[in-house]
Amino acid sequence: MDHLLPVEILEAGHAFPQALAACGDLDALLRLKGAYVGREGSHAARLMELLKGAPKEQKRDLGAAINALKQQWEEGLKARQAELEAAKKNLNALASSWDPSLPPPVPARGALHPLNRLMDRLVEVFRPLGFHVEEGPEIETEAHNFDGLNIPEDHPAKASSDTFYLAAHPELLLRTHTSPVQVRTLLRVAPSLERHGGIRFLAPGRVYRKDEIDPTHSPMFHQVEGMLVGHDIGMQHLKGTLEYALRALFGPHTEIRLRPSYFPFVEPGCEVDVSCPLCDAKGCRVCKGSGWVEILGAGLLHPNVLRYAGIDPEEWSGWAFGMGVERMAMMLSQTPDLRLFFENDQRFLKAMGGLD
Amino acid sequence: MWIERKALAAEIPAAAALDTRQLCELLAALGFPVDGVASREGTEVVDVDITANRGDAMSHRGMAREVAAKLQQPLAPVAPPSVHEGAPRVPVRLESPACPLYATALLSLGKGTTPLEAQAFLRALESSPKCLPAVDASNELLHRYGHPTHAFDADRIQGAVSVRWAKAGETLVTLDGVTRSLAAQDLVIADEAGPIALAGVMGGEGTKVTETTRRVLLESAWFDPKTVRATARRHNLHTDASHRFGRGADPGMAVVARDLLVDRLQTWAGATLEGAWTAGSLPAPDASVLLPEAMFMRVAGEPLTLAEASGILRRLGCEVTVKAGALIVQPPTWRHDLTIPDDLAEEVLRLRGYEHIPSVLPALEGPPRPLAAGYLQRQALARRLAHLGFHQTVTYGFISPEADAAFAAQDNAPEGRTLANPLGQEYSVMRGTLLSSLRATAEQNLRQGAREVRLFEVAPTYTSGPEGPTERYTLGLAWGGTLGGEDYLSPARPVREADLVGMALDLGLTSRPEVRSLGEGLFGFELPVSDLPQAGARIIPTFRPFSRFPAVERDLSLLVDLGQSHEALAAAMRAAVPGDTLQDLRCVDVFRHKSLPEGRQAWLMRLRFQADRTLVGGEVDEWMASALAAAESLGAKLRA
């Protein structure tokens, strides 16, 4: 019977389900309703006019076809209307009955790892003083890890009981400190040192020592190395820089204390304490009542370290420091067990690392 | 090292006036932090931390020298009754330059034992007295004066004594009962039957002093530090003696310690001296060191006078000659660590106190350098992921071979990345993948009751190569569990592979990552950080105009085969629309149901048109028809 209907009406009929599905709200549905079954100018109205003017013998069939079409449209519109009304009602219900005491949707929130966050912070602290970041590989040569740092050939740290070595490459090891980055960087910049007016950088990174895993030991941990090379650099510059940086880190009232110590790659060498940031140096469990906590080791570069890189120690001098990141993180957070930092429980990370 | 307060005060009387806290602070300021304080044998002992360069400080006398120099107070004299030397009773031959000096004495023991006072002293230092005067006196002298000595049972020594390199195949049973196979680099004390002691390390079992010993032959020598260190390491035999000889003992003490030991044996055990003699001579003194004034001022950071410096160095036992603009310094025989001017500058600053060092910010001598792009990229990536709800993990760089094999590339042979001396098999391979570590961490979090885990790590992974492993920074991401359902507006659903693909594309990856199933509803991917875009050099890119005319959105519900590629369909439909008016095209809903023809599914495609003019309905209809035709050419059908 469809052959009795005009082509445009048939096309409209085909398009109907699409158009119906595309109606996202009641307004759109009303417009669609007007176009298909409205009193005037709609497809249905045109069909009724067609029926009026049809020859008598066709009226019965045509009427049936028109009715089927109209019925399909009206049912479709009615069902879609019910759907949209229900959706709107539900939305209205939620909107009108909004209970502000109900927990709202909260965007997901992750966290940086506390160790990375602390290292980032250290970089930020030193940045205004002109320090940039240098990095080096974790798998290092003996030369960079030991020899270039004035560590004697028979030093116990070289033993396989202290340092991890690679089976297929006996000359390669897992760096035991971030200090080989000093050696690499000095070797690289030595020819252009004068042009650049020396160098100053931090080297944050992961290091490895052959320690069994327990609450205070880990075979992998993090260090931040700092180094400065310039003209006429002395202990006063080490002290000045660390005083600035540690105050920026722990607060303006922080005091620092240098104590003599020994590391093969520096001379003079020192340990640096800060006034306990947890008790304002009044004495607490963390500082064991002393008011001071040890924070890093440092010193003026040993002339052999400069010489190894081809830098004349008569002309250039500098200082370096090395800081244990876990140690500082544990101290600041009073985390009782180092292993928590490598367990990566999301609750720990969220609480300790957080976001910037 | 334990220091007993009274014994310290015996060497430096002024120390008696310090209370424990003052003493600890004084020692710390000198570079000898105190690790602990204890009360033993009715006396107070402090545990002093001594750095490896200061073998000279490893005794009460050594500590006293430091305290005396700091307090500018005199040391008590070391004055053993002088022992008259005579002809050797047993020939002593020094056959190696590693032992230039060997003082000895032969004594017959009488009656008597170690005095209670000396026993208490040893016990206070956690060293147990043997009640054999020759052994205890040697031990007591070591703690008091730092010079190791040894007493042999003279009647068990055969013939002449020599200090020589061990011969291949020789063995020695040391005092700890262990049979040592000796190497040609081991310096030994030997009699005519063979080695009787590892020089500077430990005596031999066969010649040790016992209750039945009647006569003792003493040894108070000086051994080359490097030789002693090597032997101690080779035999894994670290003793009080090897610690001191290995760090450099005081050659000037060899004869003095012998005399002190003779005196104690005479007093404690009624011994009779049968003879005392010395082989060899003092080794050449360490070279003198020139300390230029300018260098010294640079290190100190303030104008200190050479007069002040020379005063301090003299207090430390140095001989100092003042020249114009420099000091010539001869370190004392016990200070082998003073070899360059920097060492001397440190000594002056140390004795003055590091608290007097001024505090100065170093001026910039050149422009600061920028932060490296790679570093900034990693930092930005981590921050972005954290803001997207992911937790940054830090896991060990070494994993088990099995964990590595689960995800590392097939051609990345683990042998090239394996440690020679790992902590254990589970930490033996430098990882070629982050996914195993992330999987373990994710599982652990799920076990701990996490509903959803979102983890990432940015760390190096290692690839085996002929020159050794190469490292590259890798991003690994693991995501799994239940998404949403935590509030009344967000429905719960499981995390799907698609979520990870979307995340990777959003991070700027230009192709789809390989999402791996990690089991337990966990998925992960990893990729080199260098695959992700770095921030461009331009702070703000060139402006590209965008349309301000209204957009037209149309939906098309298509029946497509179940195997239909969305990418292919979308590409065909896009190509069918001229110009760039079709700004977006995507499948926004998928319907699969048994009511649909078999092998077919319904995709609701949403098309968004926009141009630099208002679009008319007719042209959009035309484009829609073209897009539909393109889809139909791939077998799609408009859904009725």
Let me know if residue A259 belongs to a domain. yes
Do A124 and A27 reside in the same domain of the chain? Answer: no
- Axis-axis angle for helices B293-300, A235-250 (nearest 10): 10
Same domain for A40 and A133? no
Half-sphere exposure in the Cβ direction for B503 (13 Å, CA): 29
**CA–CA distance, B92 with B279 (Å, rounded to integer):** 6
Q: Would A16 be classed as within a structural domain?
A: yes
Local structure of residue A139 (DSSP, 8 states): E
Q: How far apart are CA B353 and CA B30, in angstroms?
A: 8
Same domain for A18 and A160, yes or no, is no
d(CA B142, CA B145): 5
**pLDDT > 90: percent of chain B:** 88
Task: Answer yes or no: is B366 within a domain.
Answer: no
Q: What is the pLDDT of residues A209-233, one digit of tens each?
A: 999 999 999 999 999 999 999 999 9
Same domain, B450 and B579: no
CATH number of the domain encompassing residue B441:
3.30.930.10
Final residue of a structural domain among B470, B500, B531? B531
User: d(Cα B436, Cα B399) in Å, to the nearest integer?
Assistant: 8
Number of structural domains in chain A:
2
Do A304 and A176 sit in the same domain of this protein?
yes
- The verdict on B103 and B231 lying in the same domain is yes
Residue B472 sits in the same domain as residue B592: no
* CATH code for the domain of A221: 3.30.930.10
Q: Give CA separation, A227 vs A81, A132, A178, A259, B400, in Å.
A: 73, 10, 11, 19, 36
On whether residue A27 sits in a domain, the answer given is: yes
CA distance B387 to B79: 74
Give the span between the Cα atoms of B484 and B452, in whole angstroms: 9
CA dihedral A60, A62, A66, A69 (to 10 degrees): 110
Query: How much is the mean pLDDT over chain A?
Result: 90
Q: In chain A, what residues touch B233 (CB-CB under 8 Å)?
A: 154, 156, 159
**Which tokens in the block code for residue B357?**
């060092």
Query: Is residue A347 assigned to a domain?
Result: yes
Band (B460; pLDDT cuts 50, 70, 90): very high
Q: Could you tell me where the beta strands, DSSP code E, fall in B281-399?
A: 289-292, 319-323, 326-330, 391-392, 398-399
- The answer to whether residues A272 and A244 touch, using CB atoms and an 8 Å cutoff, is no
- The model's pTM is 0.85
Indicate the number of domains in chain B: 5
Final residue belonging to a domain, choices A61, A96, A131: A96
Task: Clarify whether residues A140 and A192 are in a common domain.
Answer: yes
Query: Are the CB atoms for B341 and B292 separated by under 8 Å?
Result: yes
Tell me how far apart the alpha carbons of residues B397 and B214 are, in angstroms, rounded to a whole number.
Answer: 62
Do A242 and A329 lie in one domain? The reply is: yes
Predicted confidence band at A92 (pLDDT cuts at 50, 70, 90)?
A: low
Q: Quick one: B387 and B468 in the same domain? A: yes
Bridging pattern class, strands B289-292 and B319-323: unpaired
Q: Which residue, chain included where needed, has tokens 């080359």?
A: B224
How many whole angstroms separate alpha carbon A316 and alpha carbon A193? Answer: 9
Q: Count CB atoms within 10 A of the CB of residue B428.
A: 21
Tell me how close the Cα of B207 comes to any Cα of chain A, in angstroms: 31
Among residues B109, B121, B95, the alpha carbon closest in space to that of B152 is found at: B109
* Number of helices (H), then strands (E), in chain B: 17, 29
pLDDT reported for residue A155: 86
Tell me the average pLDDT of chain B.
Answer: 94
Residue B286 contacts residue B252 (beta carbons within 8 Å): no
Q: Which of B388, B395, B450 is closest, CB to CB, to A110?
A: B388
Co-location of A142 and A197 in the same domain: yes
Token readout for B457 is 């790590």
Residues A258, A222 share a domain? yes
The pLDDT assigned to B481 comes to 93
**pLDDT band at B514; cut points 50, 70, 90:** very high
Residue B525 pairs in a beta bridge with B477
**How far is the C-alpha of B188 from the C-alpha of A112, rounded, in Å?**
58
Between A132, A243, A346, which is nearest B359 by CB?
Answer: A243
The answer to whether residue B536 sits within a structural domain is: no
| B362–A237 CB contact, under 8 Å | yes
Q: Average of pLDDT values for A118-123?
A: 96
Closest CA to B105 of B63, B47, B151, B160: B151
Q: Do A132 and B298 touch (CB under 8 A)?
A: no
Q: How many CB pairs under 8 A join A and B?
A: 278
Name which of B141, B162, B136, B118 is nearest B62 in CA terms. Answer: B141
pLDDT digits (tens, 9 = 90+) for B137-187: 999 999 999 999 999 999 999 999 999 999 989 999 999 999 999 999 999
Distance CA A231, CA A253 (A): 30
pLDDT digits (tens, 9 = 90+) for A182-197: 999 999 999 999 999 9
pLDDT band of residue A43 (cuts 50, 70, 90) is confident
| CB contact (8 A) between residue B427 and residue A219 | yes
Q: Are residues B199 and B324 in the same domain?
A: no
Give how far the C-alpha of residue B440 lies from the chain's centroid of Cα atoms, to the nearest Å: 26
Contact A138 B460 (CB under 8 A): yes
When CB atoms are compared, the residue of B362, B450, B462 closest to A230 is: B362
Q: Are both A229 and A310 inside the same structural domain? A: yes
The tens digit of pLDDT for each residue in B223-263 reads 999 999 999 999 999 999 999 999 999 999 999 999 999 99
Say which CATH number the domain at B622 has. 3.30.70.380
**Does residue B52 sit in helix, strand or coil?**
coil
* Same domain membership, residue B123 and residue B61: no
Same domain, B203 and B311: no
Closest alpha carbon to B229 in B265, B289, B187: B187
Mark whether A72 and A132 lie in a shared domain: no
- Judge whether A109 lies within some domain: no
Residue pLDDT, tens place only, B570-581: 999 999 998 889
Each residue's pLDDT tens digit, A144-162: 999 999 998 888 888 888 9
pLDDT score of A88 more than 80:
no
Could you tell me if B104 and B53 lie in one domain?
no
CB contact under 8 A, B394 and A170: no
Percent of chain A at pLDDT exceeding 70: 96
Q: Does any domain span residue B367?
A: no
Please report, for the domain that includes residue B47, its CATH number.
3.30.56.10
Is A264 a member of any domain? yes
User: Which residue, B14, B40, B71, sits at the end of a domain?
Assistant: B71
Q: Is the pLDDT of residue B205 over 70?
A: yes
| CA pair distance A258, A293, nearest whole angstrom | 11
Query: Considering only CA atoms, which of B420, B421, B396, B423 is closest in space to residue A211?
Result: B423
Select the residue from B30, B185, B231, B299 to test the A interface by mutation, using most A Cβ atoms within 10 A: B299
Residues B154 and B266 in one domain: yes
Cβ-contact B158, B44 below 8 angstroms: no
**B203 within domain boundaries:** yes
For residue B151, give the H/E element and its range.
strand B150-153
B166: domain CATH number is 3.50.40.10
Q: Which of A11-20, A29-38, B287-296, B604-613 has the lowest mean pLDDT?
A: A11-20
Q: What is the mean pLDDT of residues B345-356?
A: 95
Quick one: B564 and B472 in the same domain?
A: no
pLDDT at B46: 96
Q: DSSP string covering B392-420, please?
A: E----SEE-HHHHHHHS-TTS-GGGGBBS
pLDDT recorded at residue A53: 83
CB contacts of A197 in chain B (<8 Å) are 364-367
The model's pLDDT over B272-331, given as tens digits with 9 standing for 90+, comes to: 999 999 999 998 888 999 999 999 999 998 888 899 999 999 999 999 999 989 999 999
Q: Tell me, what's the pLDDT at A67?
A: 85
Q: Position A208: which residue type?
A: Y
pLDDT tens for residues B539-575? 888 898 889 999 999 999 999 999 999 999 999 999 9
pLDDT recorded at residue B330: 97
Residue showing tokens 């054999």: B132
Facing A220 at nearest CB: one of B397, B421, B445: B397
**Residue A253 CA neighbour count, 13 Å, CB half:** 7
Confidence of residue A91 (pLDDT cuts 50, 70, 90): low
Residue type, position B244, single letter: R
Whether residues A126 and A220 share a domain: the answer is yes
- Report the pLDDT value the prediction gives residue B537, as an integer from 0 to 100: 67
Note which residues in 97-156 of chain A have CB less than 8 A from chain B.
102-113, 115-116, 120, 123, 127, 129-133, 135, 137-139, 154, 156
Of A66, A96, A126, the last residue of a domain is: A96
Q: Is the pLDDT of residue A1 over 60?
A: no
Quote the percentage of chain A above a pLDDT of 90.
60
Q: How far apart are the first and last CA of chain B?
A: 91
Contacts of B52 (CB under 8 A, 6+ apart): A262, B247
Q: Which domain holds residue A348?
A: 114-352
Q: Average pLDDT of A280-284?
A: 88
Q: What's the gap in Å between the CA of B310 and the closest CA on chain A?
A: 18
Is there a single domain that holds both residue A338 and residue A260?
Answer: yes
What does the pLDDT look like over B379-423, one tens digit per residue? 999 999 999 999 999 999 999 999 999 999 999 999 999 999 999
Calpha distance B345→B349 (Å, rounded): 6
Residue B368 lies in a domain: no
Co-location of B491 and B434 in the same domain: yes
Q: Of the candidates B531, B560, B590, which is a domain's last residue?
A: B531
Predicted confidence band at B59 (pLDDT cuts at 50, 70, 90)?
very high
CA distance B248 to chain A (A): 14
Which amino acid belongs to residue B398? F
Which residues are registered as beta bridge partners of B104?
Answer: B277
What residues have CB less than 8 Å from B114, skipping those under 6 apart?
B129, B130, B131, B132, B133, B136, B137, B268
- What domain range is B188 assigned to? 92-280
- Rounded Cα distance, A59 and A66, in Å: 10
Nearest to B469 by CA among B520, B409, B516, B518: B409
Asked if the structure places residue A118 within a domain, the reply is yes
Residue A102 lies in a domain: no
pLDDT computed for residue B127 by the predictor:
93
Cβ-nearest to B299 among A21, A133, A235: A235
Least confident of A68-72, A189-193, B83-87, B131-135: A68-72
B129: how many CB neighbours lie within 10 A of its CB? 20
* Interface subset of A 156-175, CB within 8 angstroms of B: 156, 159-161, 164-170, 172, 174
Whether the CB-CB separation of B353 and A268 falls below 8 Å is answered with no
ipTM confidence:
0.90
Q: Cβ–Cβ of B360/A237 closer than 8 Å?
A: yes
Q: Which of B346, B347, B280 is nearest to B318 (CA)?
A: B347
Q: Does A99 score more than 90 pLDDT? A: no
